[in-house]
Amino acid sequence: MNNNVTNKSAKFSRGNKDATLAFFQGFLRRPQSVGSVIPSSRFLERRILKLADIGRNDTVVELGPGTGGTTRALLNALGPRGRLLSIEVDREFVELLRDIDDPRLIPHHGSAENIAQILKSHGLGDPDIVISGIPFSTMPAETGRRIVSEIYRVLPQGRTFVAYQLRDRVAELATPVFGKPEVSLELINIPPMRVYKWTAGRKAEPVRETA
Which CATH number covers residue 165?
3.40.50.150
From residue 83, how far is each of 12, 55, 62, 103, 197 by CA, in Å?
Answer: 19, 11, 11, 8, 21
Q: Would residue 45 count as lying in a domain?
A: yes
How many structural domains compose the chain? Answer: 1
- pLDDT for 40 equals 81
Is position 208 within any domain?
no
- Residue 145 within a domain: yes
pLDDT value at residue 190: 87
> Would 9 be classed as within a structural domain?
yes
Residue 148 lies in a domain: yes
pLDDT score at 3: 43
Among 101, 28, 43, smallest CA distance to 68 is for 101
In a domain, 131, yes or no: yes
Decide if 211 is inside a domain: no
Q: How far apart are the first and last CA of the chain?
A: 30
CB 148 within 8 A of CB 116: no
Q: Are the C-beta atoms of 67 and 37 separated by less than 8 Å?
A: no
Q: Is the residue at 207 inside a domain?
A: no
- Mean pLDDT in consecutive groups of 10 residues from the start of the chain, 211 residues: 41 44 46 53 94 95 93 96 96 94 98 97 98 94 97 96 95 96 95 95 52 53
Range of the domain at 12: 3-199
